[in-house]
Structure 1
Amino acid sequence: MSESIQSANAPKAVGSYPHARRAGNLLFLSGIGPRSATHNGIPGNIHDAGGNLLSYDMAAQCHAVFANVQSVLESCGAGMDDLLDVTVYLTDMAKDFPVYNRIWSEYFPDSAKAPCRTTLGITSLPTPIAIELKCIAASRS
């Protein structure tokens, strides 16, 4: 059996799925991006008058995605220290990996205590975001 978890402090899902699911002593978080929970905008995105994406701020998106992960974990009674494994999806590996990797180190400065991590370069994500995280964490309850 598992328990479905929705976080009031994280952006609404873009489909029909929970923010997380607790199964035994593990938390499985759905893919989490950098959208704002309050206005659904994407931090750092700049659009032209027609709504086409002109540029984005990878640092702003990284900080936002980590804040969203933290919000979901807190709704589960957990925290960033409980993360065990993170799969990271970047839409432009060559351009964005250095920024993302530097910001990752701000959140996880001690590699011995950091979660395991896999980073993949992909062509796109369901919304105009440059990063998404898929996480597994230990459950405190």
Structure 2
Amino acid sequence: MSEQSQSFSTDKAPEPVGAYPHARKVGNLLFLSGVGPRKPGTKEIPGVTLNEAGEITAYDVAVQTQSVIDNIRIILEASGSSLEQVVDVQVFLTNMKDDFPIFNKVYADTFAPIGATRTTIEVGALPTPIAVEFKVIATV
């Protein structure tokens, strides 16, 4: 890894579900890996009810969205940045039709004052039983 590039991981955020760091700094930019709503240090997913087979029986996208934002805050701060330094957000939703208005309200409470750019995409599934995931770029 070059002197200009540095990876960050923190045990205060949920453990990545794959072989990647929480974030990588290149120059004055910080690129976060996809961040979901899982609670740090556990497998618990706020706002998700699973049956015994591990299938989603109910979920609350507002609770999940707030949990994602909380996890992003933790990762940014551990990497020397902050929510106020976010410049771009990619959002992945598994149900755009039903979840977008609720997600958008929770998102706006935090990000509207920041003015970050955003792209929101509907996906068929995410790697864990979640309804929302963010990918973030911030300055350091």
TM-score (norm 1): 0.93
| Aligned positions of 1:1-141 closer than 5 A | 1=2, 2-110=5-113, 113-139=114-140
CA distance in 1, matches of 2:52, 2:125: 22
CA distance in 1, matches of 2:10, 2:137: 16
CA distance in 2, matches of 1:18, 1:50: 29
Where does the alignment leave 5 or more consecutive residues of structure 1 unmatched? none
Can you list the C-alpha shifts for 1:38-94, whole angstroms capped at 9, x where unaligned? 322111111223332101111110110000000000001111000000000000000
How far is 1:109 from its partner? 3.5
Can you list the C-alpha shifts for 1:106-130, whole angstroms capped at 9, x where unaligned? 10243xx321000001110000010
CA contact under 8 A between 2:14 and 2:41: conserved in structure 1? yes
How far is 1:22 from its partner? 0.4
Where does the alignment leave 5 or more consecutive residues of structure 2 unmatched? none
CA contact under 8 A between 2:6 and 2:24: conserved in structure 1? yes
CA distance in 1, matches of 2:79, 2:46: 25
Identity across the alignment (%) = 43
CA contact under 8 A between 2:90 and 2:135: conserved in structure 1? yes
Q: Which amino acid is the alignment partner of residue 27 of structure 1?
A: L
Secondary structure class of the residue paired with 2:101? helix
Q: Which amino acid is the alignment partner of residue 20 of structure 2?
A: Y
